[in-house]
Structure formats: C-alpha cells, structure tokens
Structure 1
C-alpha cells in the first residue's frame, strides 16, 4: 500500500477543516480527490506531503514521494537545465536520463536553456511536474497538475499518468473538477472536510 489515510482530522482554531478522512491509494492505482474551494483539499495535501501535522488520525506512506504543488516553486533567474541539475543533486541522481525523457514527453526540451522568467505559465507547470517526477517516485501527489496546459499537453499529461500507473507507481490527483473521472481508477469527493459515501468509482465498474 503506497498511501494509507486513517481518520484524518484537522482544525484552524474552531473551524474544523478535516473531519475524519479515510482512504487508501494502493500500488499501481491512479486516484483522485475532488472538492470545491474550502472543502479541505489544501489541508489534506499539506498533511499527505508531510508539510503539516494533523490534529488527529494518520497518513502513512511507503517508498519515495514526488510532490507537484499547484504553485510552482521555481527560481525565475535559473534556466530549466539549471533547475534539473539542482534537483539532480538534491535527489542524488546519477544521471538526468529520466528528466530528459520527461522533457520530451511533455514537449518542452527546446526551452532547456531558457530562464524561468521567460517561460509561459504552462511551460513553468511542465517544469514543475518534471521536477516532481524526475527521481521516479513510488507515490506522486499532484495538485491541479494540468493547470495552464493546452489540450495537447493535457493529453500528454494523462498519457504520462497512465505510464506511471502501468509501472506500478501510485498517483493521487487533487482537483476541484471531476470531469476526468473516467481516467481514474478511484475517485473520492471531499465536501466540508469529509469524504462523501457512494462517490468512489472504480475503473471497469
């Protein structure tokens, strides 16, 4: 089991944000959590990524983690190549073969030597996603990962997600939209801090 979430609870002051959230993301599963603004998605993601300690319950994971936040954490003065080199050192990678493959899959290799400040929002998001995946993590957390993508890149993203799934990686997509449900193995709907019963859908059913 790549991710096991049990009775997660959290509050900011008297405002209850998560009210006992429980779900699993097994190995080789492409899962989604959807919800409107204020449903608790951001707090849930911060807990799952290890950024925030929950008030109650637990989120346990196995293997390595890749995290792609909605707001890209990039240095505008560095080039794409410099970001890859920086993260290569951080991840202790022997080479950049997977990163170079991702540049090709997401179709932005031509921007390798461009500074982030010159890139469009969609291309920055491609780099954001590449940095989250270049160390081949076992579990990937994606927050609105295709924001700013054109249609071609959007399709490339889902093709990449399916590749990860076929290789036994676990992918959790957090979004405020449910129109991609048919691309997922499992879908959970978060409302007012709770997962709604009867909203989990499984591929093939």
Structure 2
C-alpha cells in the first residue's frame, strides 16, 4: 500500500501577541484520508493555530503547505443574523462557484437544519447556528476540513450525526482536523495530538467515552 499524501504540512510555526508567545515551533502533518485530533486546555492556542492553518492569521515564523481546497468551521459562528439559512447557502454557492446546492441540502437534512430554510440566522439557537456554520464549511466538498469545537451546542443525536459525517469524509479521502478542549471519543481519531506549552505533541487516547443521556447537550 502506497503512503498517503500529506495535504497539510506545518513546520516550525510560531505566533506571539505582543510579549506573549502562543505557539513555539508547532510541527505536524495531516494526511489524505485521515481524521486527526488536536486537544488542549482553554488558552493553549488552539484557535490561533486553526486560524493560521486556514490563512486567517499570519504566522511570525514557520511554513504551512496546503494541497487542496479548505473547509473552515471556526469556533466563533460566522453567520449574518439578518440573512435566512437559504440566503446563506445561496451566498456561499456564489462564493464557492458551485453549480448547485446538492451537498448543502444533504448536510442540512442530516443535521436537522432543512426546516429552517426561511428562518433568519438571528432567530436560531446557538446549536442550530452551529449546524449552519458547519454546513457552510462542508458544502463545497473541500479536500481539507479544519474544525474548531465544531459540535458545541449539539444535542446527543446531532453529536452522533456530526461524527458520522466526519467519518464519511475521512473514508472518502478527505483530510479532517478537529480541534477541541474536550477529550471525548478520542478513539475515533486516526491520530491524536495535544497542544501543550505552544507545541504539538502526541497524546495518549483516553479510555472509552462515558455514555451520555440521549438529550444532553455536548459542552462547548
């Protein structure tokens, strides 16, 4: 079996805010057909790292090599409260130069978002906004998917739907990176890292996840 191609390669990545050094030489690679997790405590620099990988932020030093289109689902929900769900999809259809909305419709149906097509984003709950946030990141079938706390506010059913979609993306050859401070379901990842003291190091997977009540929301 031939070795899988690296779709994202990070070498000696540094980022500081004033005198505060957040990232101090991050190195890792993301492979095609891989589901990679990076966990870390609040304030460890996870969101900064993902912003750099997505091209939203500029590194002080280091290199990031990407191979393929990126789908970016940030922790901060980036929707316009005055636009409906359907208007968001049409707007991003133009931005992504898509011929149709077939993939977007598929994702909204699986996440239980389809019934909100004519609802303004400002009227949606936080968890439902996050469904839209995730749909916008996946609707153009990107080769690389970067997600920051992507299931915050999801109930148990949608949490499972999220993992089903994510696993399918991996199995179809997509490279998926999930960043979170929650160490749930670590056995789902092909590889797991921890962001600690500004560097990425291998993390030992936790034990089997505890069973949760069906309607319990996943902590953000």
Aligned equivalent of 2:218: none
Compute the displacement of 1:13 (Å).
2.0
Instruction: Give the secondary structure class of the aligned counterpart of 1:38.
Output: coil
Aligned equivalent of 1:199: 203
Compute the displacement of 1:12 (Å).
1.6
Select which of 42, 66, 74 maps to 1:69. Answer: 74
Contact 1:30 1:171 in 2 (8 A): yes
> Could you list the runs of 5+ residues in structure 2 that have no partner in the other structure?
1-5, 206-220
Select which of 167, 181, 188 maps to 1:176. Answer: 181
**Aligned ranges for residues 99-110 of structure 1 at < 5 Å?**
99-110=104-115
**Aligned ranges for residues 106-185 of structure 1 at < 5 Å?**
106-185=111-190
What TM-score, normalized to structure 2?
A: 0.88
The answer as to 2:2 corresponding to 1:5 is no
> Could you list the runs of 5+ residues in structure 1 that have no partner in the other structure?
none
Contact 1:30 1:172 in 2 (8 A): yes
Provide the rounded CA distance (Å) in 1 between the counterparts of 2:108 and 2:18. Answer: 43
Select which of 96, 103, 110 maps to 1:98. Answer: 103
CA RMSD of superposed structures (Å): 1.1
Compute the displacement of 1:200 (Å).
6.0
What TM-score, normalized to structure 1?
A: 0.94
